[in-house]
Amino acid sequence: MRGAEAKYAAAAEKFNVEAKQVSGDNVKIAEAAQAIAQESTKRAKLENDMAYQQRKAAEAGGGIPRPASRRPGSTGAVGPALATSAVELERPQRPAKSSAEFLTEWDWAVRLASFGELLLATLTLVFIRNQSARTNAPRVEIYDNVEEFPDSFEVENRLPIKREKFSPKKDIAKTHVSFNSEV
């Protein structure tokens, strides 16, 4: 879907560039047509001036020369003409569905799949916990129906070691005598 949207965006951009170029070309043609119209206006003024001069010359008794367009063998061309043509560019086709429309349509399925993932993770953790508890439980191994650790132990009753009572001794006179560790 994203690929189709990217292709559409690129095609639309290309279309806009080409349409702008055609529009620019049409503007140039229109400017040229305007220049031609100005030149045609100047030509018409000159023809009118020439007609006026010929009429004045005819009134004065002179001959009327034929215009170049009416002379035998002349083409009688009016002047250059420009025309803009309607250029139809191929418009890009929009994708059938955008990614937002697709996600809106399939939202429930995406949410269901996400919930399924969470449920699977929970069940996996419960299974691992139960297996771990089962394998780490202390085992009591029985050999010939005798337990390894008996319920009671036979122990001798020993008395504690006797020691003298701890009582503070009376002040010992301080003497500054060297200490001999060998004694």
Sign (positive/negative) of CA torsion 23, 27, 30, 32?
Answer: negative
pLDDT tens string, the chain, 183 residues long: the values are 667 777 777 877 777 777 777 777 677 777 887 888 888 888 889 888 888 888 888 888 766 666 655 555 544 445 555 566 666 666 777 777 777 788 888 899 999 999 999 999 999 999 999 999 988 888 766 555 555 666 677 777 777 777 777 666 666 666 666 767 776
Q: What is the pLDDT of residue 86?
A: 65
Q: What is the pLDDT of residue 74?
A: 44
Q: What is the pLDDT of residue 27?
A: 75
Q: What is the pLDDT of residue 55?
A: 84
Q: What is the pLDDT of residue 140?
A: 65
Tell me the two tokens of residue 127. Answer: 């299974």
Q: What is the pLDDT of residue 147?
A: 56
Q: What is the pLDDT of residue 90?
A: 65
Q: What is the pLDDT of residue 148?
A: 63
Q: What is the pLDDT of residue 129?
A: 95
Domain range annotation of the chain: 1-69+79-93, 106-136
